[in-house]
Amino acid sequence: MIDMTSTIERKTLEANEEPVDEVLQMPPSLLTCGGCQQSIGDRFFLKAIEQYWHEDCLSCDLCGCRLGEVGRRLYYKLGRKLCRRDYLRLFGQDGLCASCEKRIRAFEMTMRVRDKVYHLECFKCAA
């Protein structure tokens, strides 16, 4: 199971610039987007999760919001790319239910109260 966060980097190739690394010595059209699987011919592109992306192709797998802002964090867990909001909604800070202390899986529905996240079946009103 992969559980990680990744910082998004914006890359660019200009005619008068030195390549950033060995991969960027190739013409950008030889790079393949991790989202649409098409070649990247754009001047600006992103690198995240050890792949290259068109700016519009890097998005949260749940809500669809764009993750392609420089320096923004994306969360990668159980094969899903997530924005911070969806990651915390699904997994909380530590990925455990505040009641039963068992792992909350990416596909499970949750209830969030302040900084605590619960399985729906574990949540009980304190009133």
What top-level class would CATH report for the domain 92-127? Answer: mainly beta
Digit-by-digit pLDDT tens for the chain (127 residues) are 344 555 555 554 443 333 333 344 455 567 899 999 999 888 788 888 888 888 889 999 999 988 877 667 788 888 889 888 888 888 766 678 889 989 887 677 788 888 788 899 999 887 6
Q: For the domain 3-91, what is the CATH code? A: 2.10.110.10
Tell me the domain boundaries of the chain.
Answer: 3-91, 92-127
The helix/strand/coil state of 17 is coil
Q: What pTM does this model have?
A: 0.55
Q: Under 8 Å CB-to-CB from 11, ≥6 apart: which residues?
A: 20, 24, 44, 45, 46, 47, 52
- Dihedral class, residue 71 (left if φ above 0, else alpha if ψ from -120 to 50, else beta): left
Q: Where are the alpha helices (DSSP H) in the chain?
A: 84-91
CA 36 to chain centroid:
16
